[in-house]
Amino acid sequence: MLDRRGGHVVRIGILDLLGPPARRPVDLGYQLLITKQYASITPQAISVWCRRMGHETFYATYYGLGRPHRLLPADLDVVFISCYTQVSHLAYALAKLYRRAGVRTVIGGPHAKAFPVDCLRFFDLVVRECDPALVSDILAGQFDPGAVISAAQPFDDVPTVEERMPEIRSSAFFWGRKPLLLSAVPMLASMGCPYRCDFCIDWSSTYRPLPADRLSADLRYLGRHLPGRLIVFHDPNFAVKFDDVFETLEAQPPGERPPYIIESSLTVLRGDRPRRLKDTNCAMVAPGVESWTDYSNKAGVGRSGGAGKVERVAAHFAQLAENVPYLQANFMFGLDTDQGEEPVELTKRFMDLAPFAFPTINIPVPFGGTPLHDELAAGGRILEAMPFSFYYAPYLVTTIKHYDPVTYYEKLVELYAHAASPAMLRRRLTTTSNRIIGYVHRARTASFRADIRSFRRILSLLRSDPEFLAFHEGRTAALPEFYRHVSEQMLGRYAELLSLADRTPDLSPAGTHPRHLAIEKK
């Protein structure tokens, strides 16, 4: 059989790994209703590009329930897998299964961009940035196994919602047919980010707005075929070119404007812009506050820090709350600028002033290719034996500059306990009459309480097990048995496919590994 260009038809699988297998009862509902909606745009784009080329294409997402190796046919020619770092070991195990079956394996996504050298141990090809031409060359066999390849820049050809509807139905709808209560359509209005946050894998990207006519066409399609369906914009920082984007949103008839979710910076959402969010039916905003002592350029408070920054940021959130039904405030705790009681007390003060904003409190993670990773690696502060499965909360994979491990986890418990207290939940529920938002508040509070139990478990080990403490203080490189056991639990039936050596990361920078062959496609 031939494709549309006269070549052979290739059987292609595209698998988007959205989360690890559910292990706690509280995870089941959260992953079904919320994690399921995290489907990435690039895997959907690859599926569309391959379909345009006339190939036989199979697309699936895995959100923590079921067996991922059964989501795609066994007799594929090529499989593309996208994943975050925390589920990379699952991707590695699946790659072993596919390679045994003679399938060419390709990995992309955030983990491949951050740790390409480690990915080469399990995949034939590692893709850092892609576009249709690069995918076409992969399918034509232009690259030998063992290569890290990249398009010259991130793709601009974002397939329309109409083209991606088979993938959207598969990823977000119930059994691919009926939308769920929170079923969402992923979209992009821009690529890259103008900020240079040292912990973010987009720190060096160039901000580029995408064509307004494409956004307008997608909005019209949704208005006709999926009225009222939620949009999630995956832009790292939405509407930096605010007026240009919002003129397109405002051009839609008021009764046909779908609800949408964005991640943006407070400095963008100033002046009368919160009102324009309301007018265009914005359902959720997730600004990054990050720190009370750093990243103030994103918060729009100039050089303000400390208590003054808390008051100004809380007042800004209050203005947003008058116009947007659901708010999330993103924080980092454990940065080198954090020390003593102040960061904890200031964050708790913000929660009290803005109970309507659900906080996320992130542990700094040294993703490869970021200035944070390079700085911590140079200082010997990365726990190099820690498997990638633990590169997310509640786990700590570095030594913290101003807190010993016991004190750090004590303060995490204090922060999470304040955020998940019954009194705080009651205050949140009184700020909304929306039933769905009330459910999300309850679900996220339950997840926080489960995280507190995980923090306390680690804290107990730090207090009682000298070897466990020594590992977290960087005095020994021997991985504690606790992490070996948990990593096997995370992998479940796939654990037998990865040895302890397989689970030990290769943190070598891109370009330094003997099997690394970087190719940039112009």
- Can you spell out the DSSP letters for 388-400? GGGSSTT---B--
pLDDT over 70 for what percent of the chain? 91
**What does the mean pLDDT of the chain come to?**
90
Q: Is the pLDDT of residue 7 over 80?
A: no
Which tokens belong to 433?
């009459």
- Mean pLDDT for the stretch of residues 302-310: 76
| Rounded alpha-carbon distances, angstroms, from residue 165 to 255, 275, 312 | 23, 31, 42
Q: Are strands 190-191 and 184-187 parallel, antiparallel or unpaired?
A: unpaired
**CB–CB of 58/12 below 8 Å?**
yes
**Coil vs helix vs strand at 224:** helix
Under DSSP, the state recorded for 83 is: E
**CB–CB of 347/361 below 8 Å?**
yes
Per-residue pLDDT at 358: 95
Q: Is the pLDDT of residue 390 over 70?
A: yes
Q: Read off the pTM.
A: 0.91
Structure confidence by residue, pLDDT tens digits, 428-458? 999 888 888 998 899 899 989 999 999 999 9
Does a cis peptide bond (omega within 30 degrees of 0) precede residue 25? no
Structure confidence by residue, pLDDT tens digits, 240-297? 999 999 999 999 998 889 999 999 989 999 999 999 999 999 999 999 898 888 765 5
Q: Is the pLDDT of residue 216 over 90?
A: yes
pLDDT band at 32 (very low <50, low <70, confident <90, very high): low
Residue recorded with tokens 């726990």? 383
Q: Is the pLDDT of residue 225 over 80?
A: yes
Q: Is the pLDDT of residue 180 over 80?
A: no
Please report the DSSP string for 480-513 in residue order.
Answer: PHHHHHHHHHHHGGGGGGS-HHHHS---PPTT-S
d(CA 506, CA 513): 9
- Mean pLDDT for the stretch of residues 143-171: 92
**CB–CB of 130/152 below 8 Å?**
no
Angle among Cα 461, 466, 471 to the nearest 5 degrees reads 85
- Mean pLDDT for the stretch of residues 168-173: 88
pLDDT greater at residue 128 or residue 30 = 128
Q: Tell me how long the chain is.
A: 522
Per-residue pLDDT at 30: 65
